[in-house]
Amino acid sequence: MGLARESECRVFRGLRMKNVLIVVLLSWAAGALADPGPLVIDKSKRGRASDGDIEAVHQEIATGTTDLRKIRLAIVNGMLETKGRAWTYEGEGDGYILARFDYRGHTIISRIEYNQELVQLKFHAGSEAYECENLQEDGVCYKNHRGYFNYTRNLRTSIASNLQLVSAGASS
């Protein structure tokens, strides 16, 4: 019994290390993404979703506070409180958090960039149906499965709600 449990622990640690390495490699590859900023949709791009879908996911959110710890906490709470399935913490770096959404074997990883003024969701990675077909240099996904836009919009809405709570608490 003890030997079987020890073997399970080694396998689990190996899987965790593999996930950490994947996140590090993905983060390194996407390191050139810009800081959060005003969303500008290029109307001349062909093969893209509607402006409304792109804005619902990638529109910047005002933080309402300059306290980066409160902003980070609002983002993490937003990930946990998202309508439907919660997003999981996948990692973070200076000024961003990676959030993962898994549904029926498909995965979305969003890069949530933040500073003292803005929070913005950007496409980081996707598998199967959620691979971005028209990814812009700034991390904005112009064409993806409708599920990507629905699930990521729910995440953005939840983060915005949590930022409003932080902002209301800061003004009291």
Residue 42 sits in which domain range? Answer: 34-171
| Residue 51: DSSP 8-state | H
Question: How many Cβ atoms from other residues are within 10 Å of residue 168's Cβ?
Answer: 11
76 and 50 together in one domain: yes
Q: What is the mean pLDDT of the chain?
A: 84
Q: Say which residue, 30 or 105, is predicted with more confidence.
A: 105
16 and 54 together in one domain: no
Coil/strand/helix, residue 7 = helix
44 and 124 together in one domain: yes
Q: What's the first-to-final CA gap in the chain, in angstroms?
A: 57
87 and 72 together in one domain: yes
Banded pLDDT at 13 (limits 50, 70, 90): low
The residues with which 131 forms a beta bridge, in sequence order, are: none
Torsion 136-86-127-50 (CA) sign = negative
Overall number of domains in the chain: 2
Helices 146-171 and 51-58: angle between axes, nearest 10 degrees: 40
pLDDT of residue 154: 96
Using the predicted structure, report yes or no on whether residue 161 has a pLDDT greater than 70.
yes
Q: How far apart are CA 16 and CA 120, in angstroms?
A: 28
